[in-house]
Amino acid sequence: MKELTIFLLVWAFSMGSAFAQEGTKGQTFIGTISDDMCGQKHTMMPGKSDKECVLACIKMDAKLVLADDAGKAVYQLDDQKLSEKFAGEKVRITGTLDKKTKTIQVNSIEPVKAE
């Protein structure tokens, strides 16, 4: 009986570790790096590119967000410094979404190539 208990404890621990590792991969989100003042559309600065608009808005204390075109949602991004490198670009973000705050904890960002 003691050996069965030890086996079950070891098995439960190893399964818990496997699930924990799976959760660290995160989800994938595709959209455009924007700012929380403009969101989906950049109409506040006519004649400027999306990138120019985003960079100007963050100079006015706007926060960088991911504008998810497919879901029509806007998510806050926890890593503002990394996100700034992709301002105005379509990207793929791997991370974890906090549904309460609608914030993505960013693991990685990579540009999405035009098809």
Domain locations in the chain? 26-111
Q: What is 10-27 written as a DSSP string?
A: HHHHHHHHHHHHHHHH-E
Length of the chain: 115
pLDDT of residue 18: 40
Say whether pLDDT at 28 is over 50: yes
Q: Quick: pLDDT tens for 91-110.
A: 999 999 999 999 999 999 99
pLDDT of residue 16: 47
Q: Left if phi > 0, otherwise alpha if psi is -120 to 50, otherwise beta: which for 81?
A: alpha
Share above pLDDT 90 across residues of the chain, in percent, rounded to a whole number: 61
Paired tokens of 34: 């924007």
Select from 2.60.40, 2.40.50, 2.170.140, 1.10.150 the CATH code of 26-111. Answer: 2.40.50
- CA triplet 40, 51, 87: central angle to 5 degrees? 80
Strand positions, DSSP E, 69-102: 73-77, 90-98
Is residue 12 very low, low, confident or very high in pLDDT (cuts 50, 70, 90)?
low
Q: What is the pTM of this model?
A: 0.74
For residue range 38-92, what is the model confidence (pLDDT) as tens digits? 888 877 778 889 999 999 999 999 999 999 877 689 999 999 999 999 999 999 9
Tell me which residue has tokens 């497919």.
70
Predicted local confidence at residue 70, as pLDDT? 78
The C-alpha R_g of the chain, in whole angstroms, comes to: 20
